[in-house]
């Protein structure tokens, strides 16, 4: 399954403004690839919209529980998550073709 994730945090929880949080965040970043492998997750992208305290990711995961563990472990600060199941363009095209054949 493919998920688009939007992560938001407050200024109060931002490691950019609260430098004491930065070592824990950097340590988690360094473990990201190993954790993804352990959870059978593929991170297609992870980008930040700083200084607006928003991050976006596109992650492939077998189940939402593994995905939740990955994102909360990879960026260990208090924040809100919105996880949306999405389809690739290729999947959407295949679905469209199948729908046309059923007519």
pLDDT in single tens digits along all 103 residues of the chain:
999 999 999 999 999 898 999 999 999 999 999 999 999 999 999 999 989 999 999 999 998 899 999 998 888 889 999 999 998 888 889 888 989 898 7
CATH number 3.30.70.1060 given to 2-101 = yes
pLDDT of residue 76: 85
Ordered DSSP codes for the chain: -EEEEEEE--GGG-TTT-GGGHHHHHHHHHTHHHHHHHHT-EEEEEEE-TTSSEEEEEEE-SSHHHHHHHHHHHS-S--EEEEEEE--HHHHHHHHHHHHHT-
């Amino acid at each position: 399954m493919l998920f688009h994730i939007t992560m938001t945090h407050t200024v109060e929880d931002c490691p950019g403004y609260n430098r004491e949080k930065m070592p824990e965040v950097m340590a988690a970043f360094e473990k990201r690839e190993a954790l993804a492998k352990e959870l059978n997750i593929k991170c297609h992208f992870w980008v930040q919209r700083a200084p607006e305290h928003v991050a976006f990711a596109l992650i492939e995961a077998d189940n939402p529980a593994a995905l939740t563990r990955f994102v909360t472990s990879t960026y260990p600060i208090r924040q809100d998550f919105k996880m949306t199941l999405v389809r690739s363009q290729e999947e959407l095209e295949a679905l469209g073709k199948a729908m046309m054949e059923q007519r």
